[in-house]
Amino acid sequence: MSKEKFTKKILCIGAGYVGGPTMAMIAARCPQYKVTVVDINEEKIKAWESDELPIFEPGLLEVVKEARGRNLFFSTELENNIKESEIIFVSVNTPTKTFGEGAGKSADLQYWEKCARDIRSAAESDKIIVEKSTLPVKTAIAMERILNENEKGLKFEVVSNPEFLAEGTAVKDLENPDRVLIGSKETESGLNARNEIVEIFANWIPHDRLITSNLMSAELSKLVANSFLAQRISSINSISALCEKVDANVSEVSRAIGKDSRIGNKFLHASVGFGGSCFKKDILNLVYLCETFGLYEVAAYWESIVKMNEYQETRFVQTINKALFNTVTNKRIALFGFAFKANTSDTRESPAFYITKKLMEEKAHVVISDPKAIKNAKVDLKDFNNKIEYEIDPYKAAHHAHAIAIITEWELYKELDYEKIYSNMERPAFIFDGRNILDHQKLFEIGFNVYPIGKPHLIHFNES
Ligand SMILES: NC(=O)c1ccc[n+]([C@@H]2O[C@H](COP(=O)([O-])OP(=O)(O)OC[C@H]3O[C@@H](n4cnc5c(N)ncnc54)[C@H](O)[C@@H]3O)[C@@H](O)[C@H]2O)c1
């Protein structure tokens, strides 16, 4: 197909969990545009060109295959692709800074700024730059300054288009989003740029879900959305701790409060804690922003969401240790799931990492099972690698185990034959359901000692 056949040429820098799926969806829904995704990671680009995509996401391969080679291309070549594109999405990683000013809280912008400088040096025509990465408020303004300080007389307009997809349901979220947010400066050129981006998404998303705002509101909304979502999880998790003390059942409490339409029933599921690359990072970014402006009470309020999450993870390990007679040393403990949530291979900030680390410190024999995340788990746990066992088959992982801990809510763990599993475990056999996904009464009847989150423990002997 000749280049002229395409009405827009779009580039995305960063072929990760956001860049890859987002661009695949744009290309699949808009065959009239040429969409190219570049990354510095050659292996990742090769994987995007194959049927073994670098990330596991239900339905993604079908979307990629619909457009790949037609109007969706993957490449490691940056310069020419920058030159040829009119619109450049930047979807590189923005992790928490680990050094210097703001270490542990603020976003590390080095990858983002490098992209801005690469774009400026390669560009030969005016361009719209779209912030897809999650960034601190006012980054777009700073980037526009860097980009527009060029000697070529080129004009760059920076637009913020934060991504709200959730891993595990990315394809569904991109196909049918609750909303798409596009923020820009409210100048004539800013509004023109905004309209160009609206036009892309209007190809398949109804206009009433295409929300526009000023730049700073768009940037801030992304941090606030993730902070609110995480806040609900920490809120119900805090209540789960109380439920365990007063013999209440957190699922019953969730159901009762979730029926209140002012509260709503989503994100009220108690668990071992939230993970993922975004929640903690984005909350801490918000905390840092508040501290920068001297809003220390506001910062402390949001920081408590992260602290509560850490408490929940700690509590889970303490429960395991206490139930196993205060020693897990040399005991085989099978972790069912290492991904931070079901239907993804992503393990970034997974509670599984903290739990494994703590159990290893206590010299437990940890066996990790996960249908999709073992490769990433091995990388995360490389410091322990020769001491940890990895076993994709949960039956084998639980063989001769003293305990099973459910860490990820994979559907398959609900459907296992727990009688068979129990028959091959050490006695007494324990199960710690960190996701509250199993039939606890049935497990108890099989013979397990069952420790759900926020519900009475079902044990076959008296705990002292
Ligand atoms: N993962 C999510 O669920 C999610 C959801 C919404 C928003 N976000 C945000 O989107 C952004 C990207 O997140 P992600 O999960 O896709 O990260 P990721 O680490 O999966 O992908 C980022 C990619 O950018 C590439 N990269 C870095 N610098 C580059 C450069 N100079 N040139 C070319 N490629 C470069 C990296 O090699 C990597 O493949 C982050 O800001 C994140 O906060 C993530």
**Structural domains in the chain?**
3-205 (3.40.50.720), 247-464 (3.40.50.720)
pLDDT digits (tens, 9 = 90+) for 295-350: 999 999 999 999 999 999 999 999 999 999 999 999 999 999 999 999 999 999 99
**Which residues have any ligand 1 atom within 6 Å of their CB?**
13-19, 38-41, 44, 91-94, 111, 114-115, 133-134, 163, 165, 167, 277-278
Helices and strands counted in the chain (H then E):
17, 14
Cα of 92 vs centre of ligand 1, distance in Å, is 4
Residue nearest to atom 43 of ligand 1 (CA): 134
Nearest-5° angle of CA 40, CA 41, CA 47? 130
Nearest residue (CA) to ligand 1, atom 6: 163
- What is the value of pTM for the model shown? 0.96
Q: How far is CA 454 from CA 36, 232, 318, 389, 445, in A?
A: 47, 15, 14, 29, 20
Looking at residue 29, its amino acid is: R
Catalytic sites, residue numbers: 278
Q: In testing the pocket of ligand 1, which one of 91, 114, 226 has its CB within 8 Å of the most ligand atoms?
A: 91
Concatenated DSSP letters for 97-148?
Answer: P-SSTTTTTSB--HHHHHHHHHHHHH--S-EEEEE-S---TTHHHHHHHHHH
- Two tokens, residue 95: 């992790």
Distance 13 CA to ligand 1 centre (A): 9
**Cα 423 to the center of its chain, rounded Å:** 36
Name the residue of 12, 13, 39 to mutate for ligand 1: max ligand atoms within 8 A of Cβ. Answer: 39
Q: How far is CA 225 from the centre of its chain?
A: 13
281: CA distance to ligand 1 center in Å?
13
What is the per-residue pLDDT for 464? 55
- State whether residue 459 is helix, strand or coil: coil
Give the residue-averaged pLDDT of 175-197: 98
Q: Kindly indicate the confidence band of residue 253, based on its pLDDT and cuts at 50, 70 and 90.
A: very high
Nearest Cα to Cα of residue 54 among 28, 19, 89: 19
- Give 104-142 pLDDT, tens digit per residue: 999 999 999 999 999 999 999 999 999 999 999 999 999
